[in-house]
């Protein structure tokens, strides 16, 4: 859980800052998506849960790179998916905001978007290397298939920080570090919430995330393993991918309800699919609370769904990687040792805090 608290500013300043933030945010599938208010920004920021102190680490000397000053460096950021959902909007904006805060000129931060096409992301990152970036921050679409990029970046000694999704490769050789959540733990926490919601018995469907990445794999295994352990009376009767999409989540949930009209719970591996499932439930004349939904992300739409009674619980996956990514890069270029995995702490929302903590969602 994130413990940091920002100082409360006078009400007028807060309202003015919030208005500016809202006017600068891109549109998403959820009109409530955007940056947290100034008053809650520090509380909503990422906090490190563990830094794998006993595991592998990497220094600039080990990597063989050259010390640079980020303020004068050229940095590349590769986004995997279009900014059409709140997670990606917040993630990209966090990188841009922190770069600006550090004084990196806007033309020195080169950003690309793969639009959910892995071949395009590989080309994007290769192009960024050709453009002379000295640091790469990558939100990978897939966990495998990066060999050509690694070879090219390694030849030029360009460190790669991966965020959100982990790449299956060797740290300090292929990439510097991974910054993100413990995805198996997220699945486990979701299972604990589902077990509580159903009193340890009933039927559950899983709306799977996109295939080919460790997020989906670990959120699924974490959930299944924990359900089997703590609530063997809960049976998983349906699982199908919704590709982390609201539209596909709705279609998949509609198929679920046709096959299993009396299903008791839905575990959605991200909020967009959960919100699609809510639409499907409404279309099937279900009432709020008839089917218990547990989901992962922490978007405003999903947390509001708890307030409205449609969603039981949300496990956060914090997308605000900018400060931690750039502070990690700064430490690396200053000669400090960087752990292979930097795991962040994620809060959770339910009926006890959804209303009060809505401002911490994104």
pLDDT confidence of residue 52: 56
Q: What is the pLDDT of residues 68-99, one digit of tens each?
A: 999 999 999 999 998 888 999 999 999 999 99
Is the pLDDT at 66 greater than 60, yes or no? yes
Going by their DSSP bridges, the two strands 57-58 and 338-339 should be labelled as: antiparallel
Query: What dihedral angle (degrees, nearest 10) is formed by the CA atoms of 238, 181, 118, 275?
Result: 50
pLDDT confidence of residue 9: 37
Give me 318's structure tokens. Answer: 């914090």
Mean pLDDT rounded to a whole number for the chain: 89
Contacts of 54 (CB under 8 A, 6+ apart): none
Is the pLDDT at 341 greater than 90, yes or no? yes
CB 250 within 8 A of CB 271: no
Q: In this prediction, what percent of the chain has a pLDDT beyond 70? A: 87
- Cα(159)–Cα(178) distance, rounded to whole angstroms? 12
Query: What dihedral angle (degrees, nearest 10) is formed by the CA atoms of 206, 294, 86, 253?
Result: 40
Contacts of 195 (CB under 8 A, 6+ apart): 226, 227, 230, 231, 234
Q: What is the pLDDT of residues 195-207, one digit of tens each?
A: 999 999 999 999 9
Query: What one-character DSSP code corresponds to residue 34?
Result: S
CA distances for 357 relative to 31, 37, 229, 361, angstroms: 18, 12, 31, 7
pLDDT confidence of residue 316: 98
Distance, CA of 187 to chain centre: 14
Q: Which residues of 217-253 are buried (b: 16+ CB within 10 A; e: fewer)?
A: bbbbebbbebbeebbeebeebbbebbbbbbebbbbbb
**Spatial CA neighbour of 238 closest among 254, 225, 226:** 254
pLDDT band at 26 (very low <50, low <70, confident <90, very high): very low
pLDDT band at 54 (very low <50, low <70, confident <90, very high): low
Is the pLDDT at 35 greater than 80, yes or no? no
pLDDT confidence of residue 3: 39
Q: In this prediction, what percent of the chain has a pLDDT beyond 90? A: 83
- Sign of the dihedral through C-alpha 75, 73, 97, 52: positive
Relative orientation angle of helices 271-283 and 246-259, to the nearest 10 degrees: 50
Is the pLDDT at 8 greater than 60, yes or no? no
Q: What is the pLDDT of residues 267-282, one digit of tens each?
A: 999 999 999 999 999 9
Is the pLDDT at 301 greater than 90, yes or no? yes
Is the pLDDT at 321 greater than 90, yes or no? yes
pLDDT confidence of residue 50: 63
- Cα(213)–Cα(121) distance, rounded to whole angstroms? 14
Over residues 320-346, mean pLDDT: 97
Q: What is the pLDDT of residues 129-173, one digit of tens each?
A: 999 999 999 999 999 999 999 999 999 999 999 999 999 999 999
- DSSP H helical ranges for the chain: 11-24, 41-44, 60-63, 86-101, 118-130, 147-155, 183-197, 214-230, 246-259, 271-283, 300-307, 322-333
pLDDT band at 29 (very low <50, low <70, confident <90, very high): very low
pLDDT confidence of residue 41: 65
Is the pLDDT at 30 greater than 80, yes or no? no
pLDDT band at 115 (very low <50, low <70, confident <90, very high): very high
Q: What is the pLDDT of residues 239-268, one digit of tens each?
A: 999 999 999 999 999 999 999 999 999 999
Lowest-confidence region among 30-34, 44-48, 193-197: 30-34
Residue 45's SS3 state is coil
CB 121 within 8 A of CB 78: yes
50 vs 184, residue with greater confidence: 184
């Amino acid at each position: 859980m994130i413990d940091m608290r920002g100082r409360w500013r006078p009400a007028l300043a807060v309202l003015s800052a919030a208005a500016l933030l809202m006017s600068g945010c891109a549109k998403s599938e959820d009109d409530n998506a955007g940056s947290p208010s100034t008053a809650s920004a520090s509380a909503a920021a990422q906090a490190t849960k563990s830094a794998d102190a006993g595991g592998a680490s990497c220094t600039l000397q080990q990597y063989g790179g050259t010390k640079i000053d980020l303020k004068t460096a050229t940095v590349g950021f590769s986004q995997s998916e279009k900014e059409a959902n709140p997670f990606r909007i917040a993630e990209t904006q966090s990188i841009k905001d922190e770069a600006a805060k550090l004084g990196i000129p806007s033309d020195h931060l080169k950003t690309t978007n793969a639009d959910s096409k892995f071949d395009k992301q590989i080309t994007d990152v290769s192009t960024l290397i050709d453009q002379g970036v000295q640091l790469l921050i990558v939100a990978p679409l897939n966990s495998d298939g990066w060999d050509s990029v690694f070879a090219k970046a390694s030849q030029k000694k360009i460190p790669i920080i991966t965020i959100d999704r982990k790449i299956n490769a060797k740290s300090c050789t292929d990439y510097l570090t991974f910054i993100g959540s413990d995805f198996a733990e997220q699945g486990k926490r979701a299972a604990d919430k589902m077990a509580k919601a159903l009193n340890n018995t009933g039927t559950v469907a899983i709306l799977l995330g996109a295939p080919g990445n460790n997020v989906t794999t670990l959120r699924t295994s974490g959930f299944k393993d924990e359900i089997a352990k703590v609530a063997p009376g809960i049976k998983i009767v349906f699982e199908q991918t919704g590709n982390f999409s609201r539209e596909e989540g709705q279609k998949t949930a509609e198929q679920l309800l046709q096959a299993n009209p009396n299903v008791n719970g839905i575990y959605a591996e991200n909020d967009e699919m959960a919100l699609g499932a809510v639409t499907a439930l409404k279309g099937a004349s279900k009432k709020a609370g008839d089917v218990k939904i547990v989901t992962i992300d922490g978007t405003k739409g999903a947390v509001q769904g708890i307030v409205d009674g449609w969603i039981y619980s949300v496990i956060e996956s914090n997308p605000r990687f900018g400060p931690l990514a750039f502070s990690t890069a700064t430490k690396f270029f200053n000669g400090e040792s960087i752990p292979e995995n930097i795991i962040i702490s994620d809060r959770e929302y339910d009926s006890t805090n959804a209303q009060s903590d809505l401002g911490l969602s994104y």
